[in-house]
Structure 1
Amino acid sequence: MSKGTIKNRDSFLENIAERLGRSTLETVDRSPRQYHPERRVYQGCNHDDLLSIFKKASASVHTEVFETDVSTLNKTIQDVVNHFGGGPVVTWDDPRFKEYGVNLDSNDIHVWDLSHGKENIDKAEQANVGITFSDVTLAESGTVILFNDKYKARAVSLLPRNFIAIVPKSSIVPRMTQAACSIHERIKAGKDIATCINFISGPSNSGDIEMNLVQGVHGPVNASYIIVIDR
């Protein structure tokens, strides 16, 4: 993945400093924190505890949860797709589908393909079900985190009417704190990180109009999580 560049940063910041009446830019060192209470939330919980917390949180965001293992994952996905009324289905170009033995028995599946250009968007928009993996999963809020890139487009989780996230049990962490720390650690280690990271907590919900909750305004009407017991 190519690295981005920041152009004219110094002149831009110097202009702001001048308007604030500062002759030079000032650097501010972050003060060390003695206490980190956010890290103690769910401290001591094992993966079974976190799974239980995640399932309760998912129910609160109107998301049905299914459990399976690798040997029955393919059938479980097919059952959930049928539950939503079948295809068309759109998925990522993600090696984890092969690693987990996912090979859905349908001709009505579109795998995101860079060579297809805009056709990918059209297929995602017309799809009844979009299927992705969760890269990191937050127990506290029932949230799946997707590291999107050119092979794992956000359109797959946003445009179809229904959304399925495959959630490896090993991906579940207590809360946003651990997810943010892991992202920072990857950056510090010089590893590439997705330029677009989506946090999805169930189906699209909006209560902006007269405080009435409406699903599907900005994305999928329904969402389901399939937990894969991988540890």
Structure 2
Amino acid sequence: MNGTIQNRDAFLSQIANRLGRERKTSLERPKWKYNPQDEVLKDATQDDLVEVLKQQCNNIHTKFVQTNSANLVASLKEVVDGYGGGSIVVGNDKRFEQFGLSELLKKDWPESGSEVHVWDHTLGRENIEKANLANVGISISEITLAESATAVLFSSKDQGRTISFLPNYSIIIMPKSTIVPRMTQGARFVREKVKNGEQIASCVNFISGPSDSADIEMIPVIGVHGPIKMTYIVVDDL
């Protein structure tokens, strides 16, 4: 049931009057003389951004792997096996098919004893329980911020947010084409989607490596909440 707003105009006009100014009925985006946020890495090539991302991964205790589409399956298997195999949870993401991973993630990995659960919104809370028991969660970044080594993940009915933080280990696949300098471009990416009328996730996660207690207590203990370890796999899709 929708509520009714009463006396809104009179109320807002009274506030403007008390502030000694004319009431505004529309807003214009301010035009700033200086935009220092656009200067950071503005001349960086895509390869430069990959290198910045790689170096920042050292600071956030995250393993960095670079590969191409042809070798992605082998690279992913190697990382999963390095985490001990076991149960895996992934989103129902069409990009897995684009990268040639759909068949791999639809079945078990007998050689590593890995059982794969693909997120299915019709199963409801069972998906969360699967993620909670999983050893590895695999996601694909929507956009990647090189400066802070941050993966931006959109949650949806086919991509639960628990995939990236309930399993013991998290693997995030990052298409090279998605790498941008910093949060400035990440915010614009989201804003453009809204401007174009696209449906935006109710939850947008900005993830920079495994959890670190030093963010709060100043004493570093990695993996206190969320994944113990994390790997970024950058895929050259250009």
Q: Above 0.5 in TM-score?
A: yes
Distance 1:13 1:78, change over 3 A: farther
Q: Which residue of 2 aligns with 1:95?
A: 94
User: Which residue pairs with 1:121 in the alignment?
Assistant: 128
Aligned to 1:108: 115
Aligned length: 227
Could you tell me how far apart the structure 1 residues matched to 2:81 and 2:8 are?
54
Match of residue 61 from structure 2: 62
Task: Letter of the 1:113 partner, please give it.
Answer: D
User: Are 1:144 and 2:144 an aligned pair?
Assistant: no
Post-superposition offset of 1:114: 1.1
Deviates more, 1:164-173 or 1:180-189: 180-189
Structure 2 residue matching 1:65: 3-state secondary structure: strand
The one-letter amino acid of 1:203's match is P
Measure how far apart 1:94 and its partner are. Answer: 0.4
2:237 & 2:221 partners in 1: Cα distance?
A: 35
Query: Does the C-alpha gap of structure 1 residues 39 and 68 become closer, same or farther in structure 2, counting only changes over 3 Å?
Result: same
In the alignment, the residues of structure 2 paired with residue 202 and residue 88 of structure 1 have an alpha-carbon distance, to the nearest angstrom, of 21
- Rate the CA distance shift 1:209–1:114 in 2: closer, same or farther, 3 A: closer
SS at match of 1:203: coil
Question: Does 2:73 align with 1:74?
Answer: yes
Displacement after TM superposition at 1:211 (Å): 2.6
| SS of structure 1 residue aligned to 2:92 | coil
CA-based RMSD = 2.7
**Partner residue in 2 for 1:202:** 209
In terms of mean alpha carbon deviation, does 188-197 or 39-48 score higher? 188-197
* C-alpha separation in 2, matches of 1:38 and 1:125: 38
- Partners in 2 of 1:208 and 1:227 — Cα distance? 26
Q: Is the 8 A contact 2:88 2:117 kept in 1?
A: yes
The answer to whether the aligner puts 1:174 opposite 2:173 as a matched pair is no
- Aligned residues with identical type, % of pairs: 42
Say which is worse superposed, 109-118 or 203-212, in terms of deviation. 203-212
Using structure 2 for the length normalisation, give the TM-score. Answer: 0.86
Measured at CA, do residues 113 and 175 of structure 1 come closer, stay the same or move farther in structure 2, by a change above 3 Å? Answer: same
List alignment gaps of at least 5 residues for structure 2: none
Q: Distance in 2 between matches of 1:9 and 1:116?
A: 39
Q: Deviations over 1:19-62 (max 9, x none)?
A: 89569964554432122111111011110000000100111100
Bigger Rg, which one: 2
Answer yes or no: is the 8 Å Cα contact 2:90–2:138 preserved in 1: yes
C-alpha contact 1:14 1:25 (8 A) present in aligned 2: no
* Matches of 1:161 and 1:17, distance apart in 2: 55
Number of the residue aligned with 1:130:
137
- Given that 2:12 and 2:23 are in contact with CA atoms closer than 8 Å, whether structure 1 keeps it comes out as no
